[in-house]
Structure 1
């Protein structure tokens, strides 16, 4: 018999969340971001849902794009980090991968490499994130050279990326938008700025293309509530089962390093999931789980294959009962906060050991 651990994926929720993204920006083209193995959901699982509905897909690198092509995905795919050597431009040309240009090496390779056919390009401008992108004073030159480059075809999209759009009270996004407006005022072609946070919280950032990622998987990028996130439906439900129940006397400790001690006579349930299955090792005592729909707190350190939960106050828990680690009634962001991280990390680090079970 297999362990009960599963990452259950609701494909109907994917479709719902993408429809919500389109509703928020009905005049925009939509690029669905499926990098990092589809945010841990399985790149092909999600790409097969998005491909008929999206105008393009986006991944971090060419290896991720090739996986999608090999899986039968024909939709245009943007390489968000561009190419890492000139040879990748040839592959991009053959496979209809779109290429991000964000430095002079990219531009040089594009201008000098002999390609089977021209490629579609996006031009990235650094407006304050300070990771990738050409400097504002270089943008006009890059745009002109790309516009006249024989190895480029299609629309030249000018884009940028936000540093703190998930923090709605910070001025940085407004400042980035003002700079982007100034830089692109005299540049022809479509523009793109909105990631999930921009799409949900900054309507002025929508422009011509939106690039939702995290929100498509049903998760809010904001720590505070926001009306545009209320209808999102989590795609992943991480679940396991109770495999042992025992009584622990007051003063006795549970788990490695004995970092949880019973303050009263307690009942402890052992659940067959741990950090080897994608549950965060740094989840603190008190992190909630759901057993038969009832909340119960983590009690003791997370180990590789198991966690222990205080079920003293729960009704009628028995061996084999289902445990939900995160999902619709327990947001992944809430669990992540107890582990000192963010929901993005928890889903993207979901290992192959935990099977993805798809429902449509």
Structure 2
């Protein structure tokens, strides 16, 4: 078997959710968008539901439709809202849209009139991200005329923190204050604000419904501090071939690494098509039985190369650990100059996936 192995510890995902839920004053949902951050929503969402998670967030309508098929009667909210023309599908599949604009509100109102009943939704008010959500002008229009929400059964008003992972960020305090004013203007409507990092802001970002994402999957929600979450992902690949090169010879495209001595070069079948970012070229450090193994040369589409000169025990078939106990997903992200979210959601489909059950 030469396929790289991606391990997903579903039990660790459930343990992370339980830990977050225990520390939160309100209800804790689970964000399973982007196929549960690349790890398999069809695998993870049912396990979370069995553990007591009752609310799930996805990004798109297609994700919501697919999740409904495996999540039973769970509550599913769609962060990007209901696309025009899909209102009937949302009603039939009991999907809850996040209303991100007054136009969204108007279309959902019309759907409610056609259905002859109030329809559930979340109202997203932008407090500083400048992406989705009602902007200041639209929110002011709501305050002037609440009839734009008639026929909509608002279950939550929500916003999204821009810098929750940055300790003491002034923009977080400003967002929390703006959101408090929004919530005060909608008495009786439950609130949702905290993301993974926001849940560690304690009272500052407390809300009725937290929406953890990356923390569920082992990403560190408090950068610069010890990771309070259990690791979820492992990734290992067998060595396909060992090549011995002499001093002065180069490895990979454009010869970006040159041997200073006689060197043993191990090639594995993982490349940027598998989510191993090209920016990791000459930067990633794998592990073999706990010992570091440097990646040398440029990562190509299907292959990567490592200097194993000082590890003579490595032979074809030996496994190199790319993500694991000695090299967490956040470590790989740092080497790539990115964040754990991108590493996780970029994991390719060619891995042999092995799930550890709850």
Q: Same fold (TM over 0.5)?
A: yes
Matched, 1:244 2:245: no
**Counterpart residue number, 2:55:** 56
Q: What is the deviation of 1:222? A: 4.1
Change (3 A) 1:266 1:21: same
CA positional deviation for 1:99: 1.3
Residue of structure 1 in register with 2:34 after alignment: 36
2:89 to 91, 108, 111: 91
1:13 aligns with 2:5: no
User: Which stretch has the larger CA shift, 199-208 or 48-57?
Assistant: 199-208
How does 1:314-325 map onto structure 2 within 5 Å? 314=311, 316-325=313-322
What is the alpha-carbon distance in structure 1 between the residues aligned to residue 36 and residue 223 of structure 2?
Answer: 22
Of residues 324, 329, 332 in structure 1, which corresponds to 2:326? 329
RMSD after superposition: 2.0
CA distance in 2, matches of 1:20, 1:221: 13
Shift in Å, 1:118:
3.7
Superposition map of 1:76-87 within 5 A: 76-85=75-84, 87=85
Partner of 2:266: 269
Matches within 5 A, 1:210-221: 210-221=210-221
| CA spacing shift, 1:267–1:104, aligned 2, 3 Å | same
CA positional deviation for 1:117: 5.0
The range that moved more, 179-188 or 97-106, is: 179-188
User: What are the Cα deviations for residues 231-283 of structure 1, in whole angstroms up to 9, with x where unaligned?
Assistant: x1221211111121232222111111110011222222111211122211221
Q: 1:135 to 1:277 in 2, by over 3 A?
A: closer
Instruction: Give the distance between the partners of 1:296 and 1:169, measured in 2 at CA.
Output: 37
Deviation at residue 313 of structure 1 after TM alignment: 2.5
Deviating above 6 A after TM superposition, structure 1's stretches of 4 or more consecutive aligned residues are none
Q: Distance in 2 between matches of 1:23 and 1:146?
A: 38
**Counterpart selection for 2:295 from 294, 298, 311:** 298
Contact 2:109 2:150 in 1 (8 A): yes
> For residue 185 of structure 1, what is the aligned residue in structure 2?
184
Instruction: Please give the alpha-carbon distance, in whole angstroms, between the structure 2 residues aligned to 1:269 and 1:234.
Output: 27
Q: SS of the residue aligned with 1:110?
A: helix
Q: Distance in 1 between matches of 2:336 and 2:173?
A: 31
Q: Which residue of 2 aligns with 1:149?
A: 150
* TM-aligned CA deviation for residue 140 of structure 1: 6.7
Question: What is the CA–CA distance in structure 2 between the aligned matches of 1:163 and 1:103, rounded to whole Å?
Answer: 19
Please give the TM-score of this superposition, normalised by the length of structure 1. Answer: 0.91
2: CA distance, partners of 1:266 / 1:193: 53
TM-score normalised according to structure 2 size? 0.92
Q: Is the 8 A contact 1:140 1:187 kept in 2?
A: no
| Cα distance between partner residues in 2 of 1:290 and 1:73 | 40
3-state SS, counterpart of residue 71 of structure 1: helix
Output the CA distance in 1 between the equivalents of 2:54 and 2:326.
Answer: 32
Q: Which residue of 2 aligns with 1:225?
A: 225
Q: Structure 2 CA distance, aligned partners of 1:287 and 1:112?
A: 53
After TM superposition, give the deviation of residue 291 of structure 1 in Å: 1.7
Secondary structure, aligned partner of 1:282: helix
The answer on whether the counterparts of 2:5 and 2:353 sit within 8 Å (CA) in structure 1 is yes
Q: Which runs of 5+ in 1 are unaligned?
A: none
Shift in alpha-carbon separation, 1:34–1:192, aligned structure 2, 3 A = same
The structural deviation recorded for 1:187 is 1.8
- The residue aligned with 1:103 is 101
Q: Please give the alpha-carbon distance, in whole angstroms, between the structure 2 residues aligned to 1:345 and 1:279.
A: 10
